[in-house]
Amino acid sequence: MDSAEANKQITYLRAQVARHDELYYRHAKPEISDFDYDRLKRELADLEVQFPPVAADESVTQRVGDDRTEGFARVKHRQAMTTLDNTYDEAELREFHARLAKALGTEDLAYTVEPKIDGVAVSLTYEHGRLTRAVTRGDGEEGDDVTANARTIRGLPPTLHGQPVPALIEIRGEVYLSVEEFRRINQLQEEAGEAHYANPRNLAAGTLKQLDTQLVASRRLEVVLYGLGHCEPPVADSQSGFQAQLAAWDLPVVEKFWAVRGIDAVCGAIRELDQRRRGFAFGTDGAVVKLDSFAQQAHKGVGYRGMGADGRAEAARKLSPRWACAFKFPPDRAETWVRNITIQVGRTGALTPVAELEPVLLAGTTVKRATLHNADEIARKDVRVGDAVLVEKAGEIIPAVVAVLVSKRPAGSAPYAFPQQCPVCTTAAVRVEDGVVWRCPNPQCPEKVRRRIEHFASKGCLDIDGLGEEIVDLLLHHGLIKSIVDLFHLTVDQLLPLKKSGEVWAGNLIAAIAARRGTDLWRVIHGLGIPQVGAASAKDLARTFRSLDALAAAPEADLVRIDGFGEKTAAAVRAWFAEETNRALLRELLAAGLRPTPPAESGSGLAGKVFVLTGTLPTLTREEAAAKIEAAGGKVSGSVSKKTHYVLAGDEAGSKLDKARALGVPVIAEAEFLRLLG
């Protein structure tokens, strides 16, 4: 490659990196994986080294990504927030150690190895022990003031407990969403007929930049802290010592870190982290290796990103610490073929495309299907039937098509044409202005009806024993039901002809339906399919209003006051009950004998207590334990924080048990739990 070709390629790569920086940092909507982005940036950095006359001083490789957005005040960091050099190669990690050993005159260096949290960088300022400001990384020099949103984060104390408390300290960390919370929010998206969020990191970033603090609170962000910025006076002389101080202040810290000596021990710790990382509450995509000694860190200082020991471009901005680097785990990917693209019709009519794949083993499970999210996503990636594709688990949760192997595309393939009508009832699909989701608007679409009935009868709603997908299909096929109300009008005589020797089956099903006429109020609220209302929100509504009539009449102002409810959720609830067809549905259900039971007024000492469940209990399932907690007036959470009152632990308890012990949260077994219940 000559200088002219290099200049052309460098210009192209800079434009690509700048575009992906904009999508990732400002919009939290990346189009490529971290692995592909790092590879793109590495190619650019290598070219800039090979052709220095071509490379401008202010290349995108020399700048920290900028997450500043409109609507937030800008705050300058007292100490710049740097970004780490990345590597996927153990040989490069050993070269990093060799440079440090040469500069410091010894191979026997002490390091810390910490999980690299896949979240959003934030800097918290505590003055005389009180939280006064939270600021995003921004461009490294200044960031956005997100203090109001940070104050909603679970487990983040407003004051530091214990001594010493410095006059002023900047503490760095990552805001994230737990896997459980990410799944809960996507369940709400599904119930609202909206597209799923791609991964927890993007959703956490988008949430932290919301102007509606109630919406932020409803999404239950969490934070983990690990880094030191400006501090006066000093509180520790090493990274391991600072980690201990963070824990002593009752701040949320990494669940596990390693203090080791020598590069072999570093590599061993990284391998152990790779084995343990999927059990952490937060997502992690690698390890951060740091010199433990703050004095040695200060000696090495910071420098131009991506450069070696020669320290080229001394005048360039000094953004990356020389004493730390990130070792990133390559993503779990697999190559397979797209057999077909099918369209799923959701309960609200959302048309969701799914890639039907040649089965392939990925991250320990066989993947046969991968979401394609929406029509825009298919067009952007140009996914076609017959394509060879790379599949990975986005955020290690949802299988997704990340790339098309165009070189293997079969001859004669054609771009996928997203259907303009519902594949079930053939009604013309509609697209909300500025939206990405196509919907079937037909309220009597057979698939929408089937999904609504399945949801109403499902385990998470009325939990009608024996009324699964197969039986719902059977009842619909024979015209015995057309809505959820019809379930309560079924008779044994109607069911008898549907199955040979079906008398026992018919009697059992009718009895199971009758038994749910007096089911819990929250189950009915959840079963109605109100947009934005999942099981947890339904329980909050049941506890607050205690009847369907009271809930139907509740003004939006009362809904917003519920802890965790934002304006969007409150508006969705109010809008659902304002629809005459929905009010008619409630009247028909009550006329059919549905009598929801409000939560018991509990005098138990567990009222208001927050429980986290982990492991396998001797006699109770998690669902049974959760039901007992809620019946006693308590709440069940998916993650451990300082607000947790008890962790109920069984056999093979995971990282939640470790975190409970680190935070001093009481851990109880099933026997003690049952004694507390009385």
- What does the pLDDT read at residue 297? 93
Average pLDDT (54-77) is 68
Average pLDDT (297-302) is 88
Most confident among 96-100, 184-188, 327-331 (mean pLDDT): 96-100
Q: Is the pLDDT of residue 418 over 90?
A: yes
Higher pLDDT, 483 or 639: 483
Give residue-wise pLDDT tens across range 542-575. 988 999 999 999 999 999 888 768 788 889 899 9
Percent of the chain whose pLDDT exceeds 90: 46
SS3 612: strand
Give residue-wise pLDDT tens across range 530-543. 888 888 788 889 98
Average pLDDT (625-653) is 82
The catalytically annotated residue of 116, 318, 393, 628 is 116
Q: What's phi and psi for 505, nearest 5 deg?
A: -60, -45
Rounded distance between C-alpha atoms, residue 121 and residue 174, angstroms = 5
Higher pLDDT, 548 or 201: 548
Least confident of 15-24, 132-141, 148-157, 307-316: 307-316
Q: Say whether 290 is catalytic.
A: no
Rounded distance between C-alpha atoms, residue 18 and residue 65, angstroms = 9
Using pLDDT thresholds of 50, 70 and 90, give the confidence band for residue 28: low
Which domains, from first to last, does the chain contain? Answer: 3-62 (1.10.287.610), 79-328 (3.30.470.30), 333-439 (2.40.50.140), 446-518 (1.10.150.20), 521-591 (1.10.150.20), 610-677 (3.40.50.10190)
Using pLDDT thresholds of 50, 70 and 90, give the confidence band for residue 210: confident
Residue environment code for 264-294, b if the CB has 16+ CB neighbours within 10 A, otherwise e: eebbebbeebeebbeebbbbbbbbbbbbbbb
Q: What's phi and psi for 482, nearest 5 deg?
A: -130, -10
Rounded distance between C-alpha atoms, residue 548 and residue 546, angstroms = 7
SS3 74: strand
Average pLDDT (489-507) is 88
What number of CA atoms fall less than 13 Å from residue 655's CA on the CB side? 19
- What does the pLDDT read at residue 395? 54
Higher pLDDT, 419 or 46: 419
Contact 513, 589 (CB under 8 A): no
Most confident among 86-90, 122-126, 156-160, 194-198 (mean pLDDT): 122-126
State the DSSP code for 600.
P
- What does the pLDDT read at residue 312? 37
What number of CA atoms fall less than 13 Å from residue 559's CA on the CB side? 24
Q: How far is CA 493 from the centre of its chain?
A: 48
Using pLDDT thresholds of 50, 70 and 90, give the confidence band for residue 314: very low
Contact 651, 616 (CB under 8 A): yes
Q: Is the pLDDT of residue 316 over 90?
A: no
Average pLDDT taken over every residue of the chain: 85
Q: What is the DSSP string of 95-159?
A: HHHHHHHHHHT-S--EEEEEEEE-SEEEEEEEETTEEEEEEE-TTSSEEEB-HHHHTTSTT--SB
Dihedral in degrees, nearest 10, Cα atoms 523, 524, 526, 529: 150
Q: Is the pLDDT of residue 113 over 90?
A: yes
Q: What is the DSSP string of 319-352?
A: -EETTEEEEEPPP-EEEEEEEEEEEEE-TT-EEE
Higher pLDDT, 29 or 44: 44
Percent of the chain whose pLDDT exceeds 70: 90
What's the angle, vertex CA 533, arms to CA 530 and CA 539, rounded to 5? Answer: 115
State whether the Cα torsion 378-380-381-383 is positive or negative: positive
What number of CA atoms fall less than 13 Å from residue 489's CA on the CB side? 13
- Six-digit token string for 61: 């490789």
- What does the pLDDT read at residue 397? 62
- What does the pLDDT read at residue 317? 40
Q: What's phi and psi for 366, nearest 5 deg?
A: -85, 125
Closest-CA residue to 639 (of 248, 392, 279): 279
Give residue-wise pLDDT tens across range 278-287. 778 787 889 9
